[in-house]
């Protein structure tokens, strides 16, 4: 047998914040995996494992694995009785399993299921997480919340397999979505560190790091709110300035995709009571969709107007437009026609606009042009004095 877990499992996680995050993540993962609608099997656990970068094992009450992402040799070696016992609260401990060291998290499955969920994090993954201020593990927590919220909302109703599959696709897609910019950030940071040693640091790559990190944070924020698009921090915000800021964040990326933006914005004109980061999220989604609709590049027109107590922003692209058959499903969660799409952008954006007392809709294109034209509106007032761009 490859593995004999050490009997004395000790807490080696110096960073208690990280440990707390792991606990949260494990508990939330258990809520998702324990839901009667979740298709508990090796294949689905492998997908979850691929996403979180850690193996997952679900055992029955006797500690026998019922589903696992473990490769066969590790599976044979897995011995639940040598690992910490599951309680209602998630526990985290370090364990040596034969030649391999893991940080193991364990928690009891929530009723009606009986058994335990084990998450086995490679120790080097955690060591690298400790170095980072922004750690992907928090993303997993957000996704587990999202999954639990979606599954939970279905109540006792059986959750259809298609939705769960979509959720798994979402997990995997987000992993890809996050991994690429993170790779770029790492490479740029390394190159800059070298330059710093040589005394020739340039600001532009550092700004790119900041912009990409902010974009990822927005993506994560967006996912967090799919389950419950609640407006958290409403403040008087200048919607045009906020839109312009989002645009400037995304511009390097759009330029790279040969997408130019013609913006007709009126900073200083309107004030909306909004959560600026959620507003940014909506604009970001619409711009990304516009860019996706024009794989060979093109022009996006962004225009705002203030009339009748409404601030309206239109986003119009030169893509193929939205086919009749797609229109009815456009705002449904997890509806996507893209190979690597998530299908949450529009559903989330509409939810956020409505939570602010406004709305988001597809409009006929100006002059019958081919592209898509989305319009969002929010209740607004004419600015008495300049409002903050960020509301932060």
Q: Does 341 bind ligand ADP (CB under 6 A)?
A: yes
Question: Which residue, 3 or 166, is less far from ligand ADP as judged by CB?
Answer: 166
Residue least distant from ligand ADP (Cβ): 345
The neighbour count for residue 211, using CB atoms within 10 Å, is 17
Min CB(270)–ligand ADP separation in Å: 24
Cα gap 331→207, rounded to integer Å: 34
Distance CA 352, CA 175 (A): 24
Least distance CB 129 / ligand ADP (angstroms)? 27
Binding track, positions 247-286, relative to ligand ADP; x by CB under 6 A = --------------------------------------x-
Contact criterion met (CB below 8 Å) for 34 and 117: yes
Task: With contacts defined by CB under 6 A, name the span among 10-18, 91-99, 330-338, 375-383 that binds ligand ADP.
Answer: 330-338
Looking at the Cβ atoms of 347 and 376, the one nearer to ligand ADP is 347
Q: Is 337 in the site for ligand ADP (CB under 6 A)?
A: yes
Count of Cβ atoms closer than 10 Å to residue 193 Cβ: 10
Binding residue for ligand ADP, selected from 107, 219, 302, 342, defined by CB under 6 A: 342
SS3 content of the chain, % helix, strand, coil (to 5): 45, 20, 35
Select from 82, 169, 94, 89 the least CA-distant residue to 125. Answer: 94
Termini Cα distance of the chain: 56
CA distances in angstroms from 364 to 315, 326, 369, listed in the order given: 12, 14, 9
Minimum gap (Å) between residue 317 Cβ and ligand ADP:
5
Q: Is 134 in the site for ligand ADP (CB under 6 A)?
A: no
Size of the site for ligand ADP (CB under 6 A): 21
Q: Which of residues 351-390 bind ligand ADP (CB under 6 A)?
A: 372
CB closer to ligand ADP, 44 vs 336? 336
**Cβ atoms of 380 and 306 closer than 8 Å:** yes
Q: Which of 322, 355, 360, 387 binds ligand ADP (CB under 6 A)?
A: 322
Taking the complex as a whole, how short is the minimal distance between the CB of residue 176 and ligand ADP, in angstroms? 12
Coil, strand or helix: which one is 338?
A: coil
Residue 168, helix vs strand vs coil: helix
* Residues facing residue 261 across a β-bridge: 300
Question: Which residues here bind ligand ADP, judged by CB under 6 A?
Answer: 285, 289-290, 293, 317, 319, 322, 326, 330, 335-338, 341-347, 372
């Amino acid at each position: 047998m490859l593995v004999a877990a050490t009997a004395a499992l000790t807490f080696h996680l110096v960073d208690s914040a990280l440990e707390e995050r792991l606990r949260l993540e494990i508990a939330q993962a258990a809520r998702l995996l324990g839901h009667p609608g979740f298709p508990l099997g090796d294949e689905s656990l492998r997908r979850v494992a691929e996403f979180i970068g850690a193996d997952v094992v679900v055992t029955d009450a006797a500690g026998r694995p019922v589903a696992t992402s473990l490769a066969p040799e590790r599976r044979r070696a897995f011995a639940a009785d040598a690992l910490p016992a599951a309680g209602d609260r998630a526990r985290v401990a370090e364990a040596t399993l034969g030649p391999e060291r893991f940080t193991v998290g364990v928690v009891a499955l929530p009723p009606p299921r009986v058994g335990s969920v084990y998450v086995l994090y490679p120790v080097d993954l955690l060591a690298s997480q400790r170095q980072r201020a922004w750690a992907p593990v928090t993303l997993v927590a957000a996704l587990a919340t999202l999954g639990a919220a979606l599954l939970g909302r279905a109540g006792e109703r059986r959750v259809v397999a298609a939705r769960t599959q979509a959720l798994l696709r979402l997990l995997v897609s987000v992993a890809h979505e996050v991994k690429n910019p993170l790779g770029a950030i790492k490479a740029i940071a390394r190159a800059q560190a070298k330059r710093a040693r040589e005394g020739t640091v340039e600001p532009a790559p550092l700004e790119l790091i900041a912009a990409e990190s902010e974009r990822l944070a927005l993506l994560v924020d967006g996912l967090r709110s799919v389950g419950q698009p609640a407006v958290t921090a409403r403040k008087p915000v200048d919607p045009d300035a906020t839109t312009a800021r989002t645009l400037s964040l995304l511009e390097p990326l759009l330029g790279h995709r040969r997408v130019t933006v013609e913006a007709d914005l009126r900073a200083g004109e309107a004030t909306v009571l909004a959560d600026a980061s959620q507003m940014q999220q909506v604009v970001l989604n619409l711009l990304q969709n516009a860019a996706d609709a024009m794989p060979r590049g093109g022009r996006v027109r962004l225009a705002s107007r203030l009339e009748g107590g409404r601030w309206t922003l239109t986003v119009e692209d030169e893509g193929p437009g939205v086919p009749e058959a797609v229109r009815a499903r456009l705002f449904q969660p997890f509806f996507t026609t893209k190979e690597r799409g998530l299908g949450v952008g529009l559903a989330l954006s509409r939810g956020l606009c409505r939570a602010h007392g406004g709305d988001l809709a597809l409009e006929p294109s100006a002059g019958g042009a081919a592209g898509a034209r989305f319009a969002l509106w929010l209740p607004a007032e004419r600015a008495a004095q300049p409002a903050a761009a960020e509301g932060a």
